[in-house]
Structure 1
Amino acid sequence: MSQMPQQAALSHCPSCAEPLLSGDRFCEKCGYDLSASAGTPAAVNGSVAWPHASEPDSSDTPPAVHLPADLQGTESDGRGQEGVRGDDPGTPPAGHGVRFDRAPEPEEYPLQAPDPRIAPEQPAPAKVCVACRAGRVDHDGYCENCGHAQPRERDHMEQECGPVAAVSDRGLRHHRNEDSFAVGCTALADGSPAVLAIVCDGVSSATRPDDASLAASRAATDALLAALPQGTHPQQAMHEAIVAASRAVNALAGEPATAREHAPHQNAPACTLVGAVITAGLLVVGWVGDSRVYWVPVDRSAPPARLTEDDSWAAQMVAAGLMNEAEAYADERAHAITGWLGADAYELEPHTASFKPDRPGVVVVCTDGLWNYAEAAEEMADVLPLDAAVRPLHSAQVLVGHALDGGGHDNVTVAVLPFPAPPMGAGSA
């Protein structure tokens, strides 16, 4: 039996260069099997570490690194030995001949770098004060530098829908705009055109009047746009739209925000409403409160007219014959309303009326923020531009400007609609 060649003495560990002592079988620092350098089997804690049968016998092949027994894993400890069993035929004993210098490759690596296909979110630019042009605007809408209150989204609104347009402005005295409006165009069941406008004025003494006017204008407009194409008569559709608006405002009284703010001396959210629907041959108006509708013929030699009656103290005095109109509207109680939309309204009484004008004209739907400065129909006709039928947005802007020039004591909202409704697809010039 031939003898195995004597192992050559090593002065330093071939793996980590740690100095060795004579007779060392393993490196005390890294655990390297020093006998592997001589190509002989080495006993490790009483077992033999056999070279893998399929590894080529080459000095370029890095030797396997064996760990001390207290660091060696088992089949299920996650250290890379799963699937290597000492009792499998043709494999080395468990714990030997297995590399521990890297973890198993995962099936998929997580994305580390930003995906170039996804644009990074840009922070919203800070709002700059409209007054000092230097300070930032805080979340409450005030400048952190000069303290100036910033314009709110509803302070000034404009909208145009084909031949109908509306403008609303906060005015010069109120701290917010409590008016709201909505305009729209649709087709009747027979395909003929219809245009509409809803204008709502929040009751300032009520809780959340701005929310009330917004809810009412949206609900009424949605109801009209749903009913008219189904063949509902415009006057019936207007009545149903006012009822829908009333329900929407009533619902606000039960919301948590209102419940927290509600006190015995405060009213539930409330507003007034006035609206108009115009078809090819019919003009329908509806209202609750003291906002108004005016009729101004294109031919200014024909007389204009007011088409609504106020739900107000002054109107009741005139209707009862107790005062003439001049005396009633001069009284400080003149604008106290007797009808409104809201949970605390005495009784909902939607007013509707229909007209069949015999000539082209313009319909003006407005809050008292405008008609306070042009109360009589003749005054409204004098302020309305002559080309209002073809330039409704410009005309609405002119009317709002007239109220602001007069003092702007209240919120101002006005919608301008031509009669008859032009064919579908025809817009303002």
Structure 2
Amino acid sequence: MMSQMPQTALSRCPSCEEPLESSDRFCGACGYDLSAVPAPPGDHPTIAMNGAVPLRPDGVPDMPPAAPRQPPVGDASQPPFTGSPVSPASGVRFDRPSEPDDYPLQAPDPRVAGDAPAPAEGTPVCVACRAGRVDNDGYCENCGHAQPRERDHMEHDIGPVAAVSDRGLRHHRNEDAFGLGCATLPDGSTAVLAIVCDGVSSATRPDDASLAASRAASEALLAALPLGTHPQQAMHDAIVAASHAVNALAEEPATAREHAPHQNAPACTLVGAVVTSGLLVVGWVGDSRVYWVPVDRTAPPARLTEDDSWAAQMVAAGLMNEAEAYADERAHAITGWLGADAYELEPHTASFKPDRPGVVVVCTDGLWNYAEAAEEMAQVLPPDASVRPLHSARVLVGHALDGGGHDNVTVAVLPFPAPPQGAGSA
């Protein structure tokens, strides 16, 4: 006599979840042999990845109480598994390794110098941990933090003129440079000057080009003005000197270059201003600009330079209005620059005799892209700019960064007229 098959107490098929009757020996949906179902274990799982838990006869989830924490067993180096609290929403408890209060850092904690020896006096110290020595590659030997480049953010204030330059938020380096100075004229009055250069990113070594040009132009002005050279002539000669300095970079051996010799020669733009007791002289090559903002804001501001750019050419030829030209993707393609690849050097200079006090803003397109019209620049410039040039330059740079900082940003602020007493050179 064959023995009877044990009846199943399952409510659903273990294979396909089809509802079962208590007398079913096979699943009516998939044919699963219910006699092969092993007896349920005496313990209860503490995790159900699909969210299913055993049910009591009344249909309520049958959840055991949380087990007390057990001491670790086996390899003491392995963290023990401990039960986490039961989720009140799902009733499912997940077991996981206990988490330490603090995770080890991939690099030493920059807040703690540890056993690292104190850097010798005069050695560069990390800007992050203030304890580690900076190696030749620009990284901290204690915390590994990369150090900012010297030119990422520059500020200089010599009293009657100040300038700020910043890398911006998108570029990997600052390719702008500036030069400031004060000179005593033969009559004892003061001339204040600012030179701002913007490296051409598509050229080789644009940062070297802008630095060489700003230094050469500043030095030429500081040498010529005390000799009595007219400021407009001195500005013209300074631009020529800057051009020679940039051209010389292209003549260096190829091994000293950052890129292959077949690439574009180093290049940059230049804009500058000289302020005396009664004269304002500007000079430029490229698309950096000079703006005039009267102290009396009821008087109109003005832009004193014209861009060497595709957009400016379209407007000058009457082919487009200014809004259309500067909306074109070719708008900022420059038609004049300093460098061995330039078509022809054409220094632009102009002189003005303002009839009232004001402020001269000398800047790269990293700023004027966010305040293009003279009226916009006047709105951004603080009202006390004539007495706080450094603060005003910082505000203008901040305006460009708040606007997106897509380019390097450099601006110099010069009050007009220049101070009455000779201040020497700087």
8 Å contact from structure 2 (residues 390, 413) kept in 1: yes
8 Å contact from structure 1 (residues 162, 185) kept in 2: no
Distance of 2:127 and 2:192 partners within structure 1: 39
> How much does 1:142 deviate?
3.5
Report the 3-state secondary structure (helix = DSSP H, G, I; strand = E; otherwise coil) of the residue aligned with 2:150.
coil
Aligned counterparts, 1:66-81, within 5 A: none
Distance of 1:345 and 1:258 partners within structure 2: 23
User: Is 1:367–2:364 an aligned residue pair?
Assistant: yes
Distance of 1:315 and 1:192 partners within structure 2: 37
Q: 2:338 aligns with which of 331, 338, 341?
A: 341
> How much does 1:127 deviate?
3.2
Q: TM-score, normalised by structure 2?
A: 0.68
Q: What is the aligned partner in structure 1 of residue 50 from structure 2? A: none
Residue segments in structure 2 that go unaligned for 5+ positions in a row:
1-118
Q: 1:199 aligns with which of 196, 199, 202?
A: 196
Q: What is the aligned partner in structure 2 of residue 280 from structure 1? A: 277
Q: What is the aligned partner in structure 2 of residue 187 from structure 1? A: 184
Distance of 1:246 and 1:258 partners within structure 2: 22
> How much does 1:188 deviate?
1.3
Q: 1:290 aligns with which of 281, 287, 295?
A: 287
Q: What is the aligned partner in structure 1 of residue 352 from structure 2? A: 355
Q: What is the aligned partner in structure 1 of residue 126 from structure 2? A: 128
Write the letter of the residue equivalent to 1:349. Answer: E
| Alpha carbons of structure 1 residues 283 and 260: separation in structure 2 relative to 1, 3 Å | closer
Report the 3-state secondary structure (helix = DSSP H, G, I; strand = E; otherwise coil) of the residue aligned with 1:417.
strand
Q: What is the aligned partner in structure 1 of residue 413 from structure 2? A: 416
Write the letter of the residue equivalent to 1:401. Answer: G
Report the 3-state secondary structure (helix = DSSP H, G, I; strand = E; otherwise coil) of the residue aligned with 1:403.
helix
Deviations 1:211-257 (A, max 9, x none): 11111001001100111111110000000000000000101111235
Q: What is the aligned partner in structure 1 of residue 324 from structure 2? A: 327
Report the 3-state secondary structure (helix = DSSP H, G, I; strand = E; otherwise coil) of the residue aligned with 1:409.
coil
| Alpha carbons of structure 1 residues 126 and 315: separation in structure 2 relative to 1, 3 Å | closer
Deviations 1:35-63 (A, max 9, x none): xxxxxxxxxxxxxxxxxxxxxxxxxxxxx
Give the number of aligned pairs. 306
| Alpha carbons of structure 1 residues 357 and 124: separation in structure 2 relative to 1, 3 Å | closer
Deviations 1:251-288 (A, max 9, x none): 11112356654536521111100000011111000000
Q: What is the aligned partner in structure 2 of residue 70 from structure 1? A: none
Report the 3-state secondary structure (helix = DSSP H, G, I; strand = E; otherwise coil) of the residue aligned with 1:157.
strand
Q: What is the aligned partner in structure 1 of residue 400 from structure 2? A: 403
Q: What is the aligned partner in structure 2 of residue 212 from structure 1? A: 209
User: Is 1:169–2:133 an aligned residue pair?
Assistant: no
Residue segments in structure 1 that go unaligned for 5+ positions in a row:
1-120
Distance of 2:155 and 2:189 partners within structure 1: 26
Note the aligned Cα RMSD (angstroms).
2.1
> How much does 1:331 deviate?
1.0
User: Is 1:389–2:371 an aligned residue pair?
Assistant: no
Q: What is the aligned partner in structure 2 of residue 230 from structure 1? A: 227
Deviations 1:176-235 (A, max 9, x none): 111000111111122111100000001111111111111100100110011111111000
Write the letter of the residue equivalent to 2:159. Answer: G
Aligned counterparts, 1:228-267, within 5 A: 228-256=225-253, 260-263=257-260, 266-267=263-264
8 Å contact from structure 1 (residues 252, 258) kept in 2: no
Distance of 1:134 and 1:422 partners within structure 2: 44
